[in-house]
Amino acid sequence: MAIHQVDRTIISPRRPLTVLFRGVFAFALLAASLIVTAAPALAAHTIAPTTTCNNGVGGGGGQGVICEVTIVNTITGSGGSAVVTVHECLGSAGSPSDGSCSTQTLHVAGPVTLVNQCNGTVEGNGSKLLCSVHVTNNFYGVSPGATAATVDQCIGSGAGGGTTMICTPLGSTTSAVITQCNGTANGGGSSVTCTATGTKAAALGVTINQCNDSANGGGGLVVCSASLINNARSGTPPPTGTFSAGSSSSSTPSPLALLVWLAMGGLGLAVVEARRRSILR
């Protein structure tokens, strides 16, 4: 009887069910935790009259950042509004878009007057920084009074040996409308391309501050651009929006979803194994 009892314990369908499920569930927890650890997290961006994106992120080597901000301001005699789209990624320098990415569009109850992004970012060796800001100001019933935008760009940058710098223009202006690529890419063998274009409107002050004190490791790549366009429009302006969520998406897989998927798959395998052993019994 003792030998028979031992045999029943070995082939009992309950034992493989418990052991396999616990094993697969533990593996799922481990896999999820590894994903959480390995996948770099995006910095929280802000879409508002002061808009931000990916400041102070990506301190390790070989990381890449993308920030693409597009703003359409509507300005009227009584106020205005804005439609803002932010696309951002934090991944590898080889292909930043293969990492964590998101895109969001919001209607803002007021014009955007400051964009502050990609500063103090990806300071490790072999990093990549790709950032852009495009602002269009449409004036209805208000004269823009536009003049050339002042630029403070590429000052104190590219100090490392073998660095390539293309700055259009290379300018040093206090309290400039566009301030970018200063104190950046000072590691050896880096490449910097920064472009600033557009006009400043007397009727609405918009400033851009990006790509400063960033990508100072060796072999860094920096490509940053900023543009400001001011238009005098006729006709009826579009309705002023309130703060409302638009579309957003992320390419990062959900650790919780993977955990559930693995656990359910393990449960299915355990059930099949239990049935097989039950038949053998």
pLDDT tens-digit series, residues 32-52: 343 333 445 566 689 999 999
Q: How confident is the model at residue 59 (pLDDT cuts 50, 70, 90)?
A: confident
C-alpha to C-alpha distances, 249 to 24, 239, 253, nearest whole angstrom:
30, 26, 11
Residue range 204-227: average pLDDT? 97
Indicate the pairing of strand 50-53 with strand 207-210: unpaired
Q: How confident is the model at residue 53 (pLDDT cuts 50, 70, 90)?
A: very high
**Ranges assigned E (strand) in 141-190:** 146-148, 151-153, 164-168, 178-180
Cβ 229 vs Cβ 135: under 8 Å? yes
Residue range 90-109: average pLDDT? 94
SS3 3: helix
Q: pLDDT (tens digit, 9 = 90+) per residue, 103-135?
A: 999 999 999 999 999 999 999 999 999 999 999
